[in-house]
Amino acid sequence: MIVNTELEQKGNMFPSKFVSFKKDVDTLYFSTDNNVVLQLTVFRDSVLRFRYTTTGTFDNDFSYAITKYASKGYNHLEIIENEEEYHIITSKLLCKIAKEDLRIRIYDVKDNTLINEDEIGFHWEESYEYGGNIVKMSKTINDRESYFGLGDKPEHLNLKGKRFENWVTDSYAFGKQTDPIYKAIPFFTGLHHNKAYGIFFDNTFRTYFDFGQERRNVTSFWAQGGEMNYYFIYGPKMNDVVENYTDLTGKPHQLPPLWALGFHQCKWSYYPEANVKEITNKFRELQIPCDAIYLDIDYMDGFRCFTWNKDYFPDPKRMVKELLDDGFKTVAIIDPGIKIDHEYSVFKEALEKDYFCKRADGPYMKGKVWPGECYFPDFTKPEVRDWWSGLFKELVEDIGVQGVWNDMNEPAVMEVPNKTFPDDVRHDYDGNRCSHRKAHNIYGMQMARATYHGMKKFNYPKRPFVITRAAYSGTQRYTSTWTGDNVATWEHLSIANIQAQRMAMSGFSFAGSDIGGFAEQPQGELYTRWIQLGVFHPFCRVHSSGDHGDQEPWAFDDDVTDIVRKFIELRYQLLPYLYTAFWKLIEHGTPLLQSLVLFDQEDQQTHYRTDEFVYGNQILVCPIQEPNAKGRRMYIPRGSWYNFWTDEYVEGGKEKWVDAEIDSMPMFIKEGAIIPKFPVQQYVGEIEIEELALEVYYKLGKEVSELYDDAHDGYDYTKGRYSFRTFKLTGKANELIIQQHKEGKYEASYKTFKLNIHGLPFEIKEIQIDNEIISLEHLKVNGTVSMVIDKKFSEIHLIGN
Ligand code: GLC
């Protein structure tokens, strides 16, 4: 007879005394008396992986986040044992492991600064309800430490003093304190003593991060299941941390087609065909550049994915072609919920092939979304992903749709309290069968991945374009993203600003917000200010629910239309600059936006700034986030800058009032920069570019700028058909030298550069191009000095008196 039926709550448990050590090439094992094993892998000199088990053995090592292309390998590895500790030494780090309790301390090997230290370190609690453990880690907060990252959190950029949860959630009209929302990116950067490190906690269960909220001196992170499995990434530069994290979890697999960096117009929903055409025609009539038009759920037949409502769109192929002839790429939405309808081929096939998710006890996972009751494909099964990819044949290859928009893939379920699947739903998880508790956070990512592969295959030889709402770390390899259902308020404009910056420092740069706000309707002024910000976001799309009126650039008044046109034109002019930044993202993982702390972490002033950011690496912008503003105070980071609008030269390292009437926004160019500009086009490829402008900003000293170019679509660039130009500027008191170096086989259509030189402190007496003296006749001087030169120059000298 059992007499004691009370649950024995063991509470927190800890590793006990160290008993043995084993080394297997780059992986070290430290075992304790109570079956805890710490598996430490030296990934790179600056990247260490820590993985713990409490049972003596590890589960199958599988991650959706880590890319197979991640760089591995180190220059140096040395292991020293003494009475109390093990010392693991690489060329960048010294990691000390205490034999007493396996606590970790990590130092910069060069100057012995303590970078990161376990407080309690690894500990756990048994999960009585589900089995396994609630795994926990705690770290000591350093003096004046700041925290950044975590994806799409709509909070202050610096996460210090706050607690967060990662559980991908459909969050209509979220607010500044809403947590969690659409994405789970369990990666943060810590910064103290001018040294930055990152921690990526690769655990897909519901995870939590506390940055000194519960206890002032402790940062902790824990998960409701799975393993304590994290990567420690050392900088010391924050930019290196972000690049290394991006290397681990993946850079976008290819450049986007250039048109995807243009302006996109969306609404829920444009239909029928006549309405779509009315919108696209109006863009051309008003000469407002635009490259993409979106079809939201109403294009489908009863919201059945991969079907068309033939009353609204009688001949989609013809329409898509006509739109394309006018420069518009059509992007269509595809949601995960498949309508339960035994006459519907997609449903029938998935049912027959057993592709839908099931509950623990056998029934299908049934949930309501737009089409009514649905079943949901298990995108965590490779065979299901292949099938899903194949479904895009008609939409992409036959009809010609050029982009796919994945939505509701948290997965969102309507009219249930938790807004998603129940925990007991079963998933394949690529052969590692599990419940929804583990698969939830990656469900949307796997859907986007399957979509991406379909898009890529059927759009070949053109590049794919996919956008997703839900994401986990690594999703940036496949798609772009937006920040979900925001609201047309000034506060949301500032949230959008923070989210785009935070996504960029979380390895997912290709992101933007619903410009103007999804829910409710903005006033013309808010819309204008949001466009001004949005043209500096890597993904630039106006979208709205359509319930509260129109949000096209002409929906307000003529002044708004004119200002909006001016800023969208600016985006198109700066496309070569953005494209170059994108190239650096896919090559090195360099974020497309830099918050000021990323730009200059040494300057303490930047650690708590949120509004200003650097677009690429040489353009500083700061949106106006209040009504009736005629300008604003902003922090200009250290260094010297030119006001983009007036060419006024300003010294950074201080706050400054900057004028910005409604038709302007604070924008500065780093001195010494050479900014490439295209002429205005109504869409990418509208005109053959005959001349590329180079805006040269004089500096007393040196600065390097870059220009990447290729065919703007297709894969030839991967075979060397690209051009990458480096411009080295050297400014002296009476001389300006620009040296050009080109690599790659691509020849752009333009033959010449038009140099516009800003801030030149001397009058030009002589020009030499590649050692030849050029007549001054070609020189135009009215404010800025301009001249047209052959794009093949290697060195140009402007000499003054
Ligand atoms: C969701 C999306 C939104 C879309 C709507 C209808 O709310 O976030 O962008 O317009 O569904 O498909």
Choose one of 296, 410, 539 to mutate for the ligand 1 pocket test, by most ligand atoms within 8 angstroms of C-beta.
Answer: 296
Provide the pLDDT for residue 780.
78
* Burial (0-12, 13-18, 19+ Cβ within 10 Å), 744: middle
Tell me the C-alpha distance between 536 and 568, whole Å.
Answer: 10
Tell me the C-alpha distance between 557 and 462, whole Å.
Answer: 38
Which of 397, 404, 273, 263 lies closest to 328 in space, CA to CA? 263
Tell me the C-alpha distance between 564 and 535, whole Å.
Answer: 10
- Ligand 1 in contact with 445 (CB < 6 A)? no
- Ligand 1 in contact with 485 (CB < 6 A)? yes
Atom of ligand 1 nearest to the CA of 543: 9
Tell me the C-alpha distance between 190 and 230, whole Å.
Answer: 14
Choose one of 271, 467, 485 to mutate for the ligand 1 pocket test, by most ligand atoms within 8 angstroms of C-beta.
Answer: 485
Phi, psi of 184 (to 5 degrees): -125, 105
Task: Look at residue 259 and give its three-state secondary structure.
Answer: helix
CA angle at residue 114 from 113 to 119, to 5 degrees? 170
Rounded to a whole number of angstroms, the distance between the first and last alpha carbons of the chain is: 105
- Ligand 1 in contact with 470 (CB < 6 A)? no
Provide the pLDDT for residue 2.
58
Choose one of 334, 518, 547 to mutate for the ligand 1 pocket test, by most ligand atoms within 8 angstroms of C-beta.
Answer: 518
Question: What does DSSP assign to residue 358?
Answer: B
Ligand 1 centroid–CA 409 distance in Å is 11
Ligand 1 centroid–CA 411 distance in Å is 13
Determine which helix (DSSP H) or strand (DSSP E) holds 700, and give its type and residue range.
Answer: none
Ligand 1 centroid–CA 451 distance in Å is 18
Atom of ligand 1 nearest to the CA of 408: 1
CB-hemisphere CA count at 13 Å for 330? Answer: 25
The pairing of strands 723-732 and 735-743 is antiparallel
Ligand 1 centroid–CA 253 distance in Å is 26
Ligand 1 centroid–CA 486 distance in Å is 11
Tell me the C-alpha distance between 770 and 793, whole Å.
Answer: 7
Ligand 1 centroid–CA 407 distance in Å is 7
Atom of ligand 1 nearest to the CA of 268: 10
Ligand 1 centroid–CA 268 distance in Å is 7
Ligand 1 centroid–CA 799 distance in Å is 58
Which of 341, 320, 338, 407 lies closest to 376 in space, CA to CA? 338
For ligand 1, atom 4, the nearest C-alpha belongs to 268
Which of 673, 691, 690 lies closest to 757 in space, CA to CA? 673
Tell me the C-alpha distance between 412 and 798, whole Å.
Answer: 61
Which residue(s) pair with 393 in the sheet?
Answer: none
The low-confidence residues of the chain, meaning pLDDT below 50, are none
Tell me the C-alpha distance between 696 and 730, whole Å.
Answer: 11
Atom of ligand 1 nearest to the CA of 484: 8
Catalytic residues: 407, 410, 485
Atom of ligand 1 nearest to the CA of 335: 12
The pairing of strands 292-295 and 264-265 is parallel
pTM, two decimal places:
0.98
Decide: 471 and 183 in contact? Cβ < 8 Å. yes
Provide the pLDDT for residue 8.
63
Ligand 1 centroid–CA 527 distance in Å is 19
CA distances from 679 to 33, 273, 736, 754 (A): 70, 31, 25, 11
CA angle at residue 492 from 489 to 494, to 5 degrees? 120
For ligand 1, atom 7, the nearest C-alpha belongs to 485
Question: What does DSSP assign to residue 529?
Answer: H
Which of 189, 172, 170, 179 lies closest to 152 in space, CA to CA? 179
- Ligand 1 in contact with 296 (CB < 6 A)? yes
Tell me the C-alpha distance between 747 and 382, whole Å.
Answer: 41
Amino acid of residue 417: P
Ligand 1 centroid–CA 333 distance in Å is 9
* Burial (0-12, 13-18, 19+ Cβ within 10 Å), 700: middle
For ligand 1, atom 3, the nearest C-alpha belongs to 485
Sequential DSSP letters for 104-159: EEEEETTT--EEEEEEEEEEEEE-TTTSSEEEEEEEEPPTT-EEEE-TT--S-SS-
Amino acid of residue 49: R
Tell me the C-alpha distance between 362 and 81, whole Å.
Answer: 53
Provide the pLDDT for residue 144.
94
Amino acid of residue 481: T
- Ligand 1 in contact with 297 (CB < 6 A)? yes
Ligand 1 centroid–CA 265 distance in Å is 14
- Ligand 1 in contact with 268 (CB < 6 A)? yes
Tell me the C-alpha distance between 532 and 660, whole Å.
Answer: 11
Ligand 1 centroid–CA 528 distance in Å is 22
Atom of ligand 1 nearest to the CA of 485: 8
CA distances from 253 to 165, 449, 589 (A): 29, 11, 11
CA angle at residue 155 from 153 to 159, to 5 degrees? 90
Which residue(s) pair with 89 in the sheet?
Answer: 78, 94
Ligand 1 centroid–CA 460 distance in Å is 28
- Ligand 1 in contact with 407 (CB < 6 A)? yes
Per-residue tokens: 132 = 């396994």
Choose one of 404, 408, 468, 539 to mutate for the ligand 1 pocket test, by most ligand atoms within 8 angstroms of C-beta.
Answer: 408
Tell me the C-alpha distance between 756 and 749, whole Å.
Answer: 20
Provide the pLDDT for residue 282.
98
SS3 labels along 173-228:
CCCCCCCCCCEECCEEEEEECCEEEEEEECCCCCEEEEECCCCCCEEEEEECCCCE
Determine which helix (DSSP H) or strand (DSSP E) holds 574, and give its type and residue range.
Answer: none
Tell me the C-alpha distance between 764 and 743, whole Å.
Answer: 30
Provide the pLDDT for residue 3.
63
- Ligand 1 in contact with 484 (CB < 6 A)? yes
Atom of ligand 1 nearest to the CA of 296: 12
Ligand 1 centroid–CA 371 distance in Å is 13
* Radius of gyration, alpha carbons of the chain: 27
* Burial (0-12, 13-18, 19+ Cβ within 10 Å), 379: buried
Ligand 1 centroid–CA 364 distance in Å is 25
- Beta strands in 498-560, from DSSP E residues, in sequence order: 511-512, 514-515, 541-542
For ligand 1, atom 5, the nearest C-alpha belongs to 268
Atom of ligand 1 nearest to the CA of 412: 1
Atom of ligand 1 nearest to the CA of 514: 9
Atom of ligand 1 nearest to the CA of 172: 7
Task: Look at residue 722 and give its three-state secondary structure.
Answer: coil
Choose one of 172, 266, 268, 368 to mutate for the ligand 1 pocket test, by most ligand atoms within 8 angstroms of C-beta.
Answer: 268
Atom of ligand 1 nearest to the CA of 266: 10
Tell me the C-alpha distance between 283 and 291, whole Å.
Answer: 10
For ligand 1, atom 10, the nearest C-alpha belongs to 268
